[in-house]
Amino acid sequence: MSFTSIVKNEISKLESNEMEYIAELSAIFRNIGVIDKTIKITTENASVARRIFNLVKDIYQIHANVTVRKGYNFSKGYYYILEIVKQVDAVLADLSIETNNGNLSIPKDYITDDMETKRAYLRGLFMAVGSINDPKKSRYHLEFLVDDKEYAQFISELLNEFFLNSKILMRDNKYMIYVKEAEKISDFLRIINASSAVLYFEDIRIYRDHKNMTNRLNNCEQANVDKIIVTATNQVDDINVIKSIGGLDLLDDKIKIVAIYRLKYPDASLSELSDIISLETGNKITKSGLYHRFKKITLLANKIRNSKTT
């Protein structure tokens, strides 16, 4: 079962009050209802179909006709078709589903006039046309696919009242409202009261964040090790250039000590080498001091290399 189905199953069992139920149904009928002389609603989720059937029965005392059909190919499950044939106009009016110039209008204010009905409307919207990626398997992504630009803007604004930073993208003559940020998607699940889904999502998100941080730290540590090896190798090469012409004994005593210890400990970092020299000679030398002495060694080695090429 997909994560989307898990979320739909959970929110389709929530208890609410009548106004919240109406807001839910308004979103569902607006997005997956086929309206003619009857209202037909098709869904692949049995729990959502049961929710619609029960709400219509409890609120309007109407028993919707239910048809179950097998999907078009063997990989698909069943489709649940609910058809309302009575009081169609009254139900549509109550749910604020009206046609304007051939398109369905934006629902009237009373459908989403407070925060709880807004949450309920988003629940219904998700049950109808929502999709969310399983955080364990892929990138974070929440989306709703609707068929009207004005309605897409309405949904985006509704989501952004909860600071979800939603965006709109046109796709195949439809409009996708989407949210990409993991924290915002988790907030959406809280908004629609999908408590179990929130816990699952947060567990996976925290695990992935921790894993990514560990990988970044390991990569950073490996990069530092590589840098230390390259630096130490170059320093050894410089010292050997000076040594090749018998110039090591002509170096200043402080620089000569550094050169000798670098040859003795070719894999040590500057920090480690400073500790070793300070401990074994009794003369404290800092990492910065080592850096400046190696810089002088490099300058001298480059002069020797240049003199050999001229």
Distance from C-alpha of 173 to C-alpha of 157, rounded to nearest angstrom: 21
Q: What is the pLDDT of residue 74?
A: 56
Question: What pLDDT score was predicted for residue 9?
Answer: 95
Residue segments in the chain with a per-residue pLDDT below the cut of 50: none
Tokens of 104: 């369905």
- Which domains does the chain show, CATH number per domain? 3-193 (3.10.28.10), 218-309 (no CATH)
| pLDDT at residue 273, rounded to an integer | 84
CB atoms within 10 A of CB 297: 20
Given this model, what pLDDT does residue 95 score? 93
Cα 206 to the center of its chain, rounded Å: 11
Q: Give the C-alpha separation, 221 to 102, whole Å.
A: 62
Residues in the chain: 310
Strand ranges, E, within 36-186 = 39-43, 65-70, 78-84, 99-100, 103-104, 130-132, 142-146, 167-171, 174-179
pLDDT at site 242? 84
Average per-residue pLDDT in the chain? 88
pLDDT value of position 272: 86
- Residue 170 has φ and ψ, to the nearest 5°, of -80, 135
